[in-house]
Amino acid sequence: MSDVVEKTLTALPGLFDSQTGAAKITNRLKQLIKSITELTSKHEEENLMKQELSAMKEQVSSPNTTMKQMREVMVRAMYCEMLGYDASFTYIHAIKLAQQGSVLEKRVGYLAVSLFLSEGHELLLLLVNTVLKDLQSTNLIEACMALTVVAQVFPKDMIPAVLPLVEDKLSHPKEIIRRKAVLALYKFYLIAPNQVQHIHAKFRKALCDKDPGVMTSSLHIYLQLIRESPDGYKDLTGSFVAILKQVVGGKLPMDFNYHNVPAPWLQIQLLRILSLLGREDQSTSELMYEVLDESLRRAEMNHNITYAILYECVKAVYTIHPKAELLEKAARCIGNFVLSPKINLKYLGLKALTYVVQHDAKLALQHQMTIIECLDHSDFTIKRETLELLFRITNAQNVTVIVEKMLDFLRGCNDEHTVIHLVGKVAELAEKYPFHSLTVTNVTRMR
């Protein structure tokens, strides 16, 4: 049995309490998982699942089924749905479990609802009153579960019913409630931005929250807001820079570290925000030069997550108002990526060059021969990204060579999507440089 299956079976008792009979209930799901892993064909699996679903249907229809047994059925039903088998007859019972069960049964019921139902499902209407009641509950677990399901599956037309209660949770004394409230409001903003316009001031309060988790959650909202209207949030640049300095300096709790890298995903979010704020704005860009330099210096090339941070740093440096020293360091970083023997780093270097070429075509031309050599790489994704980069750096002097390389690649390519995409690129170059007869002739043959 695989390590994954072993870990799954070990974790299962956590879904159940320690009362008498819990072990017996858990054994049903354990046995199901073991039986499936021991099968040798898809046909055997389908027969087993047919029997299992039939047994569950009979159990949920019985008036003698207890809440504890229903909870166990829900967990088995979730597993069946994860394998691609229809257990829709349990959906209404998941709603009932969330409505009528104890805290543990509510937990399983809410989890099942969030997995089974999509936004707009008609059964969600039956859950609105339960969610409203749990949002007002003094029980921390019930409030958390309600906020989670609101953020995951509540549709646009149900937002007005729960918005005031979710908004109030931004001032809750417990940080986990505030964090989940921010994430729920982020979801509301994505699907109905006009309905949360009046609470933008509270988003700023969340950004300054004493809990790093709440502050991190608010960055999702700000990244979206700044993408749409960066000018309205220039005054927050100093706050974002200060947060990034604290993160890079390791001032956040160790829980946020990943492979000894301080809060890497938070760094990536902040770098994206800063690049949007500093675009074509010298005064705003000057506020972030120091922290970008520090980020480039501290993110050593020793792990995949630091490569991601360096990539975002490079993009930010080339997006904001330019500073010669930072550009030089970013160019050196890109060169290290492109020349690396590691496939992931080479691909990252090509992606970075594809982005940077819009701002500095000369940098890509410095690596032109290395880029062309990548067309002979064994990895298909490297080849595909190389072709995209070659298209970006094409000029009147190298168009013939680059188009010949593209056509050579097309002759041996079997991927239909790539062929269609690349033929379009070649045709575009033929129209842009019509006086290069070789290009025009080859494109005509391809057509």
**Distance from CA of residue 314 to its chain's centroid?**
21
Report the amino acid identity of residue 248: V
pLDDT interval class at 441 (50, 70, 90): low
From CA 4, how far away is CA 42, in angstroms rounded? 20
Q: What is the Cβ-side half-sphere exposure of residue 103, based on CA atoms within 13 angstroms? A: 9
DSSP 3-state of 117: coil
Q: What is the pTM of this model?
A: 0.81
Tell me which residue of 69, 60, 63 sits closest to 19, measured CA to CA: 69
DSSP 3-state of 258: strand
Joined together, the tokens standing for residue 250 give: 């390791």
Percent of the chain with pLDDT over 90: 51
Phi, psi angles (nearest 5°) of residue 345: -70, -40
DSSP 3-state of 279: strand
Identify the residue whose tokens are 């993110």. Answer: 299
pLDDT reading at 421 higher than 90: no
pLDDT tens column, 9-18: 565 555 544 4
Report the amino acid identity of residue 369: M
Average pLDDT over residues 293-303: 82
DSSP 3-state of 261: strand
Mean pLDDT score across all residues of the chain: 86
pLDDT reading at 162 higher than 90: yes
pLDDT interval class at 185 (50, 70, 90): very high
From CA 74, how far away is CA 77, in angstroms rounded? 5
Q: Which range is least confidently modeled, 71-75, 232-236, 405-409?
A: 405-409
How much is the pLDDT for 230? 93
Joined together, the tokens standing for residue 21 give: 């009979």
From CA 313, how far away is CA 196, in angstroms rounded? 32
pLDDT interval class at 238 (50, 70, 90): very high
How much is the pLDDT for 7? 59
Average pLDDT over residues 122-129: 91
pLDDT interval class at 8 (50, 70, 90): low
How much is the pLDDT for 201? 84
Q: CB neighbours of 313 closer than 8 A, spacing ≥ 6?
A: 271, 292, 295, 296, 299, 330, 333
Q: Which range is least confidently modeled, 64-78, 207-221, 268-282, 369-383?
A: 369-383
Residue 399 contacts residue 431 (beta carbons within 8 Å): no
**Distance from CA of residue 344 to its chain's centroid?**
19
DSSP for residue 413 = -
